[in-house]
Chain A
Amino acid sequence: MRLTCPHCGSRGLEEFSYRGDATVQRPALEAPEEDWVAYVYLRDNPCGAHRELWYHGAGCRAWLVVERDTLTHVVHNVRAVCREETP
């Protein structure tokens, strides 16, 4: 598997580590406990398109949002998490 890092270009899987679902949002401190439990523990396991967080630890150390199909493994898009625009 390869990911095209917006800073480093196409790189092999071994440079990255996977974190998981990129769609979850850290709740506000005062949010209900259920929200916090959901944020910390509960994850969907979608079959198909998914947004995932990957860390380019052996490269530029950027956290990346990878749009990937969990069924076909096709990577549709990779962007740095802290940037809105697609490179």
Chain B
Amino acid sequence: MSGLRVAGRGRKARRTFRHGAGNGLETGRQIRFTFDGKSYLGHPGDTLASALLANGVRLLGRSFKYHRPRGLLSAGPEEPNALVELRQGAAREPNTRATIAEIFDGLVASSQNRWPGLALDVLGINGFFSPVFTAGFYYKTFMWPASFWEKVYEPLIRRAAGLGRAADAADPDRYEKITAFCDVLVVGAGPAGLSAALAAAESGVQVILCEQDALPGGRLRGERTLIDGRPGWMWAQDAHRRLAGMTNVRIMTRSCVFARYDGGTYGVLERVFDHLPAPREGQPRQRMWRVVAEHCVVATGGIERPIVFPNNDRPGIMLAASVRTYLHRFGVIPGHRAVVYTNNSDGLRTVADLHHAGVRVVAIVEAGTSTAAQDLARQTGAVLFSGATIANTFGRLGVTAAVIRDAHGREHRVGCDLIAVSGGWSPDIALTTHQGARPVYRDDLAAFVPAQGAGGSDLHVVGVAAGVMTDRGAFESGLRAGYLTSGADGSGKMRLPDVNDAAYDITPVWQGPGTGNLPRAGKAFVDFQNDVTARDIRLAAQEGFQSVEHLKRYTTLCMATDQGKTANVNALAMLADITGRSVSETGTTLIRPPVQPVALGALAGAHRGRHFRPFRLPPTHRWAEEQGAVFAENGLWLRAQWYPRPGETHWLETVNREVETVRNRVGFCDVSTLGKIDLQGPDVRVFLDRLYVNGWQKLPVGRARYGLMLREDGFVFDDGTTARLGENHYVMTTTTAKAASVMQHLEFCHQCLWPELDVQFISVTDEWAQIAVAGPNSRDVMRQIVDPDFDLSNAAFGFMAAADVTVCGGLRARLFRLSFSGELAYEIAVPARYGDALARRLMQAGAPYGIAPYGTEALGVMRIEKGHPAGAELNGQTTAHDLGMGRLLSGRKDFIGRRMADRAALRDPARPTLVGLKPLRVDAPLVCGAHLLPKGAAATAASDQGWIASSAWSPTVGSWIGLGFLQNGPARLGDVVAVHNPLAGTVTEAVVVSPVFVDPQGERLHG
């Protein structure tokens, strides 16, 4: 079982990996946590990565495709390897970077993408099949036979290659969203960001400072830099404290500015309680900020690159600056025998720092030749290899040796358990490219920097992010930007701290010579998270994928959750090398938001479950609930569908009873959901004339009229009634569904087309509760409601009458004699707050007349019985002619849609036109959506002549009935057509009839 031995355990007694205090640690306290079931101790301030490293755990995960053992590459958010699952059960969170996950007492973490365990992973065998997984493998290997893709290849790949497991249950935590405004948003609390924030804040402007880390300081936490003679992190802490004491500054830590959007809008993810076992009562786990800022100072620093060489992915091979971070911030020694491999002066700091911490540096491998390296070698006793590379490494679950190829091509095998690598710094420019600004390549830095003025005049990039590589430069650029954004002239006040400075030199070496050519030496990884190797890049280039965009998609380079933060520039430089172009000519892909992964839960915020789409409740909702109503969603509205009574066993029984109640006695229904628009002004009449197809010149005060609206393309838009309440006062109703769009349409017509019309209007949908009272007894009921001085007789208040009245002893109300049901009916509107009371009063007053409430289902049955078109008929594809309302189109005026409606094809009588349908067998249901065919015709598209739009069982007719559209419909009354339901595979027969099934003469509603 030797294969199961985990690094850090075994032959020798456990060595200590914690060497000192660490400037970010609270060493006085200990925290217990588990990783893969084993319990460990750490300190407050530790990340999962630093705590595991302190416990000698180097192996943290398996790679995506090849299941290679992986450890920590970095100490920050750019980490590609150490992805872990945190927490358990419903709170389980996959693919979390161990380098930013702060430990807390009781944290349960586990590795992912391995089976059965980290040290022995059966699928590590994928490495032997690696030819299968090379560049473009998705496109090549699994192409045939096609039927194998879904059943064989994809499940296989999904299981073999993968990341963590999502939780199986709903997320128990809360997330929330918030918007904030400021003058200056500073991104990053390193030396440049803190300087900018201080300068801006001292000028008095509103400042928000966001730092993705839990602590301020940035690189100052990971270096031994002295500022004004004290450790740099102390300066950062002081600056932070000063800012925290200012009322015009909001400091947000654990807050990643993940996107810049148009108009100075930024997305910020605040990890409010990720660092504790559970959010505090009433607090969210994470908070999504939208920050609107006049200016933004980007002080995001840089990301160190690795160098590409064979087997450069073993646990123990880490970025040099990250090694320094573990040393200084966390007091952790990442190894005891170190090799430092660097192509730049910054990487050499690691030699001195490791030596200072008591780590033996056995070799310095530098790409160039520098006197600084010679001095360091002398001081530390390390062997110096100048102009050299690392040609290979060994160690199955962690590095044990490096093969160094010196300037003369000779190879030296050196035993080590840590290789600190620095391939130079890439400015973290993600935020500056979100709006499409292309960065430019600087040869002297061997890196992309934001172009001058990139992203707009409100964006100020400072420090390393701007390619300013010295500490002094970071302070200077930060202060300058801070003063600039606040509009203050700070040039006189600018005081730079005293800082020991060093120039940054880089010899642009991206990979060991021949790395991409020598597959037998071992895989040389460029993109660690997606397992893209130097050979993949060479192969892609050979196969013609030489544009960076093609290369990226073909190899999946930079397409993992880390967006290739450590991989991108190396890959571009290698592609440039292969294709004989410069890096500038090769170009770079743009970085899209988010800068760091953002959980969907945080994007959703509180908008989940019922809150995703809140209900609108009609004024009588609570009363309807008391009545035991069954509700249905109607757009956003929740409406009573029917009101079951004790003993009723089926909804149809209830609906039939409600229909019969209205047809024979009296019923009422809340119709407040219909859109209501109040229009006033001398030109309303002209306005209505242009909105509706029919004429409005002759509508007298006190009357209502049905109106039909078209869209400008000639198809029906909406319908409703409009009543004239006064000389210059009208109230329009719209359908429930179109209430908002009709309002917008009216605004458009008035403001954009006819601003000369003297018209004012406003939506009053929510202001009025409107209840339809329908049935032969409705006048008797209304007499109990409307105050007695108002004459309700048919002669005084006939069909389509409208009036301002008072009800229930003086309450102002509007009364309309409108009927959707076809019965003698009224619609009464009262201020919305009286809707509930009105329903209760109607129940009381109507009891002697047999009143009952009815729901939307009975409403629908009765409107089908009367042939009134509704949603299924007004579906945006039907014309006035189709609805049998062609004669409404006025020829004497301009109105919206008139010209387009007049096109010959839209007037063609062969278009499917509204008809009624009755099955030959009354109890044979008609199904909405069924096709209408000539009797006996084959069920093919060629013989299709129309469709059924609405259908219902009509207790009044004693049959199923339907409304449909049929070619030449009105000329075919009495014909029998075939009704084909392709879903059920049935063909039934129906007779074509007039769409008005009940009271075709309309005698009842005039009664």
Contact = CB atoms under 8 A, between A and B. Distances in A.
Interface in B177-219: 179
Nearest to A32: B899
Contacts of B755: 81-82
Contacts of A2: 262-265, 292
B752 A81 contact: yes
Interface in B262-279: 262-265
B712 interface: yes
B261 A1 contact: yes
Nearest to A3: B263
B699 to A, nearest CB: 22
Contacts of B747: 55, 61-63
Interface in A43-60: 53, 55, 57
A36 B744 contact: no
Classify chain B's interface size.
Answer: 20 to 34
Interface in A67-86: 72-75, 80-82
B899 A17 contact: no
A53 B752 contact: yes
B262 A1 contact: yes
B744 A55 contact: yes
A55 B748 contact: yes
Interface string B711-743: 011000000000000000000000000001001
Given A1-B263, A2-B265, A63 B898 contact: no
Contact of B899 (A13, A33, A73): A33
Interface in A18-51: 19, 26-27, 29, 31, 33, 36, 39-41
A87 interface: no
Contacts of A74: 456
Contacts of A81: 751-752, 755
Contact of A82 (B435, B436, B713, B752): B752
A26 B753 contact: yes
Contact of A17 (B290, B744, B903): B744
A81 to B, nearest CB: 5
Interface string B888-903: 0000001000111001
Given A2-B264, A36-B899, A73 B435 contact: yes
User: Which of A33, A36, A55 is the most central at the interface, judged by chain B CB atoms within 10 Å of its CB?
Assistant: A36
A87 B226 CA distance: 54
B744 A1 contact: no
Contacts of A41: 713
A39 to B, nearest CB: 8
Given A26-B753, A63-B752, A73 B265 contact: no
A82 B262 contact: no
Contacts of A53: 748, 752
Nearest to B894: A29
Nearest to B763: A61
A12 B265 contact: yes
Given A33-B899, A40-B713, A82-B751, A73 B262 contact: yes
A63 B751 contact: yes
Given A57-B744, A61-B747, A1 B265 contact: yes
A75 to B, nearest CB: 7
Contacts of B179: 12
A17 B743 CA distance: 13
Contact of B751 (A29, A62, A72): A62
A26 B894 CA distance: 12
Contacts, number: 63
A33 B290 CA distance: 48
A21 B436 CA distance: 24
Contacts of A75: 263
Contacts of A82: 751-752, 755
Contacts of A36: 899-900
A64 B264 CA distance: 21
User: Which of B261, B753, B899, B900 is the most central at the interface, judged by chain A CB atoms within 10 Å of its CB?
Assistant: B899
A45 B263 CA distance: 22
A9 to B, nearest CB: 11
A29 B744 contact: no
Interface in B449-504: 456
Nearest to A26: B753
Contacts of B894: 29
Contacts of B899: 27, 29, 31, 33, 36
Contacts of A3: 263
Interface string A1-13: 1110000001011
Nearest to A19: B748
A12 B290 CA distance: 10
Interface string B272-292: 000000000000000000101
A23 to B, nearest CB: 12
Contact of A63 (B456, B740, B748, B903): B748
A74 B263 CA distance: 8
User: Which of B261, B740, B744, B752 is the most central at the interface, judged by chain A CB atoms within 10 Å of its CB?
Assistant: B752
Contacts of A26: 712, 753
Contacts of B898: 29
User: Which of B262, B263, B456, B744 is the most central at the interface, judged by chain A CB atoms within 10 Å of its CB?
Assistant: B263
A36 B752 CA distance: 17
A22 B23 CA distance: 60
Contacts of B743: 61
A2 B261 CA distance: 9
A17 B745 CA distance: 12
Contacts of A40: 712-713, 900
A13 B290 CA distance: 12
A79 to B, nearest CB: 12
Contacts of A10: 263, 292
Interface in B579-632: none
A27 B896 CA distance: 11
A13 to B, nearest CB: 8
Nearest to B292: A2
Contacts of B753: 26
A2 B744 CA distance: 20
A19 B752 CA distance: 12
Interface in B116-137: none
A76 B179 CA distance: 25
A69 B253 CA distance: 36
Nearest to B179: A12
Contacts of A80: 751
A73 B264 CA distance: 12
A13 B261 CA distance: 11
B665 to A, nearest CB: 43
A42 B86 CA distance: 54
A47 to B, nearest CB: 13
B185 to A, nearest CB: 14
Top 5 closest pairs, chain A to chain B, by CB: A2-B263, A1-B262, A82-B755, A63-B751, A29-B894
Given A33-B903, A39-B712, 8 more contacts: A3-B263, A26-B712, A41-B713, A55-B747, A61-B743, A62-B751, A72-B436, A81-B751
27 contacts: A2-B263, A2-B265, A3-B263, A10-B292, A12-B292, A13-B263, A19-B748, A26-B712, A29-B894, A29-B898, A31-B899, A33-B899, A33-B903, A36-B899, A36-B900, A55-B744, A55-B747, A55-B748, A57-B740, A61-B743, A62-B751, A73-B262, A75-B263, A81-B752, A82-B751, A82-B752, A82-B755
